[in-house]
Amino acid sequence: MRRADRLFQLVQLLRTRKLITAAALAAELEVSARTVYRDVADLMASGVPIEGEAGVGYALPHGFDLPPLMFDAEEIGALVLGARMVQAFGDEALAARAKTLLAKVEAVVPERLRKGFGRPEWQVWPSMRREVRAHVERLRRAIDGRRKLRFRYLDQQGAETVRTVRPLCLAFWGTVWTAGTWCELRQGFRNFRPDRMREVELLEPFADEPGKDLAAYLRTVEEDLTRERAGGARGAACRRPSRAAERVSKNPAPLWRGCSCSPSNPLGASSSRPQDLEARRGWIVAHTLST
């Protein structure tokens, strides 16, 4: 590890803990305690306000921030690609913020790295209609503000219902968004696709209730996945995986009965695929936008 990287990690460790000893820092950084003492002394000499002393421990005052960080070429590539994905598939407000973010970073990096912001070989083509972007933005703001939503919804069969929901999280599936919610009509958790929503309107705020919040939603997702995984394992043991998948699709968990989109099958697919369960779980958990 380069010394500059080690010093950066040292500051990060000091920022995340109230008090940490040199021995603990040495174990985290995989160096000797003497090296830690020397690094701390150098940081203090350069103006970093580290408090403490050898034998007691070290800490940084609350609110201390590092100066702007520098990026390497790979990090800029990741930043550009991620920002383009937000511009292509995020709502209009987030897409605008992604654009200004790139402009701000480009303005402060060295000249040799600025060519990485063009990257014409990395293209992410927008494919979301404007009204869908508007629905995603309204969902995101409702999640942040803990506000209910009401909308007309068209299911896979074209049947329309009016739903009032407590939005809990958003998940992105490569080309399609889904919203995990507590549905007041069904009195249970349901997933809805923004591209199937019409006339989305913000309603009054709501308070989290046990059994209707994000934690309960994610627990239910895990339980649903466990049941599907068990169904897939039984099918594999019988050497008839297609029948196993059929059994799972015909006998969903009671909580999702009668709904085309369950938490483990949010896109409304007609059958379950046990081999995809971990991928589904990863998307739902990793793309949760509200904690």
DSSP labels, 179-206: EEEEETTTTEEEEE-GGGEEEEEEEEE-
Is it the case that residue 165 has pLDDT exceeding 90? yes
Choice among 41-50, 201-210, 241-250 with the minimum mean pLDDT: 241-250
Q: Whole-prediction pTM value?
A: 0.56
Residues 128-150 have a mean pLDDT of 90
Residues 170-181 have a mean pLDDT of 86
User: Six-digit token pair at 129?
Assistant: 């209609």
pLDDT digits (tens, 9 = 90+) for 89-118: 888 888 888 888 878 777 767 777 777 677
Strand partners, 167: 181
Q: What confidence score (pLDDT) does residue 68 get?
A: 55
Higher pLDDT, 290 or 281: 281
How far apart (Å, rounded) are the C-alpha atoms in residues 143 and 72? 34
Residues 273-285 have a mean pLDDT of 44
Is it the case that residue 250 has pLDDT exceeding 60? no
Strand partners, 171: 178
Which strand (E) or helix (H) includes residue 189? Answer: strand 188-192
Q: What confidence score (pLDDT) does residue 276 get?
A: 47
How far apart (Å, rounded) are the C-alpha atoms in residues 97 and 223? 37
Q: What confidence score (pLDDT) does residue 114 get?
A: 72
Is it the case that residue 7 has pLDDT exceeding 70? yes
Do 287 and 168 meet the contact criterion of CB atoms below 8 Å apart?
no
Q: How many helices, marked H, and strands, marked E, lie in the chain? A: 10, 7
pLDDT digits (tens, 9 = 90+) for 24-82: 889 988 899 999 999 988 888 888 888 887 778 888 887 665 555 567 777 878 888 88
Q: What percent of the chain has pLDDT over 90?
A: 23
